Amino acid sequence: MNTKVNFAGIEMKNPVTVASGTFGYGREYSGFFDLGKLGAIITKGTSLKPKSGNKPPRVCETASGMLNSIGLQNPGIEYFANNDLPFLRKFDTKIIVNACGSSVDEYVDLCKILNDLDIDAVELNLSCPNVKEGCMAFGNTYEGVKKVTSAVRKVLDKPLIVKLTPNVTDIASIAKGVEAGGADAVSLINTLLGMKIDIYKRKPILANNTGGLSGPAIKPVAVRMVYQVAQAVNIPIMGLGGIISGEDAIEFLLAGATTISIGAGNFIDPYTSIKTIEGIEEYMKKCKIENITDIIGKVEMN
């Protein structure tokens, strides 16, 4: 049984990664299991300068999921390079840095620094719904996505993944912008913009009013979008959105994803990613699948 995948030039021992913003920089989970069991770790969204994030409340629970509006709180790239990267490098896994900025120049400057760091790939965050500038503002048009992607491509030799927002009318056209900009892969979906109201206070629960919806509630939307993007582009896909089990992961692979990410699932059980790897192996055994790559995109539409 072979769970190895090559994702945009990154050799991974299995297709399971942990999504940006749900795994910090790995430290907190390293007490629960060997991080080397993961295909890759995607870091918390990291910017050029430290960011202190949004006012609380920043999270709330919703039906089979949660809303968050963290606002990309992070210690900045310099702190990451000096403190977190040496720690992460101790584990036999791939390191993908999620990069965020508020202008094209900021993305470019950040990626120049990332290009010289000992990391395996960059995931460009063009999809955070919780900050006023940058991110999703670039991520919701073909032109915007293409512009940032091609600007970053010029300074980055490492594999480049672009993370897409689902808050658009036609996800396939956005993915084409990523491909045209020269990226090696796309990841989707980031969170769906949502709101929850406290009916007694008559106010939204989140201080920022709106936030990003994640968890099993969004999984069908994510699977549909992965399928649509798989039909539209030739670059590989990392699928995510509500995965909490091996069975969930298999759905994404069948829809066309080469790798998957565990996001909010990490919050409800520190072992969700490990259980997902085991679940994939069980499925392979049960269905007599020799190579995990044999099932990628193998859904047969009705």
Q: Is the dihedral of CA 269, 273, 278, 280 positive or negative?
A: positive
- Rounded Cα distance, 37 and 20, in Å: 17
3-state secondary structure of 232: helix
Residue of the chain from 4, 9, 28, 298 that contacts another protein (CB under 8 A): 28
State which residue, 29 or 80, has the beta carbon closest to another protein. Answer: 29
Instruction: For the chain, give the number of residues.
Output: 302
Q: What b/e string do you get for 255-266 counting C-beta neighbours within 10 Å, with b at 16 or more?
A: bbbbbbbbbbbb
Q: How far is the CB of 154 from another protein (least distance, A)?
A: 32
Please indicate whether residue 128 is annotated as part of the active site: yes
Report d(CA 233, CA 186) in Å as an integer. Answer: 9
Catalytic annotation, pick one of 60, 100, 111, 128: 128
Q: Which string of x and - marks every residue 173-212 that binds another protein (by CB under 8 A)?
A: --------------------------------x-------
Residue 252 touches another protein, criterion: CB under 8 A: no
61 near another protein, judged by CB under 8 A: yes
When asked if residue 290 is in the footprint of another protein (CB under 8 A), the reply is no
Kindly report the number of other CB atoms within 10 A of residue 268's CB atom: 11
CB of 75 to another protein, least distance (A): 11
Q: How many CB atoms lie within 10 A of CB 70?
A: 21
Would you count residue 68 as binding another protein (CB under 8 A)?
yes
Q: Nearest-CA neighbor of 281 among 7, 37, 17, 14?
A: 14
Options 78, 269, 282, 294; binder of another protein; rule CB under 8 A: 269
Q: How far is the CB of 147 from another protein (least distance, A)?
A: 30
Residues that bind another protein (CB under 8 A): 21-24, 28-29, 31-32, 52-66, 68, 70, 73, 205, 215-216, 244, 264, 266-271
